[in-house]
């Protein structure tokens, strides 16, 4: 069951999400689209952090996103991308109109059955679906401690890909890969990033202040981050690839 309060929290942000959230490695797009395609849709595109990797990998790139503030940022950045307001459960594109669909950091917010039916509808026969998530590296103890604070209901070991199973209705599983990389980020931007997380966005002022203060304490105490203005943050990007069945 999707928590609509958490899902709808992203209706309130755009510029901060784009500034503070991490991007994605080029290798993730390479795994989904090893060859150039005719048309691709980035679904749940947010501010275009993954969309921008698709430009040049397709003749035409489109984006669908339910948040107007996020679409405003995407449109300003990617003027050649056709951006539409819409949802995964009701995609404003015609049948069999795209060769590939990508979903980065968003599939767990979709109603799986309805979204898969819509994605299959707009894909050409044999078309590709790629699902992508950034995760914290379990070996990075200070970042995992921050996750425990910001996501107390899920816990430290959650990887959010419960929706990304090999068996998706209407699709044949092709491959899964994990890409390890690292990000250089300032301490201030790392803290501001947590302000763009759904559980923090919906928290009351006191709870939000307490969570961010607790994350600051983690940074003060961890030997890898204590006294440092610039941090090296390990990341794992998980990529699932499927094909639409006949």
Token duo for residue 90: 């009701």
Instruction: Report CA 85 to chain centroid distance, whole Å.
Output: 17
- Asked whether residue 53 is domain-assigned, the answer is yes
- Asked whether residue 170 is domain-assigned, the answer is yes
Give me the mean pLDDT over the 172-196 stretch: 96
Q: Residues of the chain with pLDDT > 70: what percent?
A: 89
- Asked whether residue 174 is domain-assigned, the answer is yes
* Number of domains within the chain: 1
- Asked whether residue 22 is domain-assigned, the answer is yes
Give me the mean pLDDT over the 146-153 stretch: 87
- Asked whether residue 152 is domain-assigned, the answer is no
- Answer yes or no: is pLDDT of 14 > 90: no
Confidence of residue 197 (pLDDT cuts 50, 70, 90): confident
Q: Distance between CA atoms of 212 and 156, rounded to whole angstroms?
A: 16
pLDDT at 4: 54
- Asked whether residue 44 is domain-assigned, the answer is yes
- Asked whether residue 150 is domain-assigned, the answer is no
Tell me the pTM: 0.89
Q: Distance between CA atoms of 1 and 122, rounded to whole angstroms?
A: 25
- Answer yes or no: is pLDDT of 1 > 80: no
Q: Residues of the chain with pLDDT > 90: what percent?
A: 80
Q: Which domain holds residue 88?
A: 4-136+157-182+234-244
pLDDT digits (tens, 9 = 90+) for 44-75: 999 999 999 999 999 999 999 999 999 999 99
Residue with tokens 């490695």: 25
- Asked whether residue 229 is domain-assigned, the answer is no
Angle 205-221/187-194 helices, nearest 10 degrees?
150
pLDDT at 10: 57
CATH classification of the domain holding 104: 3.40.50.150
């Amino acid at each position: 069951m999707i928590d609509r309060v958490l899902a709808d929290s992203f209706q309130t942000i755009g510029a901060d999400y784009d500034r503070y959230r991490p991007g994605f490695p080029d290798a993730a797009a390479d795994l989904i689209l090893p060859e150039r395609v005719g048309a691709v849709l980035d679904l749940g595109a947010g501010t275009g952090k993954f969309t921008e990797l698709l430009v040049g990998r397709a003749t035409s790139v489109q984006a669908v996103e339910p948040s107007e503030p996020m679409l405003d940022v995407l449109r300003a950045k990617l003027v050649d991308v056709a951006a539409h307001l819409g949802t995964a459960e009701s995609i404003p594109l015609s049948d069999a109109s795209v060769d590939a669909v990508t979903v980065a950091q968003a599939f767990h917010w979709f109603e799986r059955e309805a979204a898969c039916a819509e994605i299959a509808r707009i894909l050409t026969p044999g078309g590709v679906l790629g699902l992508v998530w950034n995760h914290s590296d379990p070996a990075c103890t200070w970042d995992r401690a921050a996750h425990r604070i910001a996501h107390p209901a899920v816990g430290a070991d959650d990887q959010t890909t419960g929706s990304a199973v090999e068996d998706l209705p209407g699709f044949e599983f092709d491959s899964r890969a994990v890409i390890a990389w690292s990000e250089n980020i300032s301490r201030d931007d790392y803290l501001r990033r947590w302000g763009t997380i759904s559980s923090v966005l919906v928290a009351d002022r006191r709870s939000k202040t307490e969570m961010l203060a607790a994350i600051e304490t983690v940074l003060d105490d961890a030997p890898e981050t204590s006294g440092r203005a610039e941090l090296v943050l390990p990341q794992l990007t998980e990529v699932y690839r499927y094909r639409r069945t006949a």
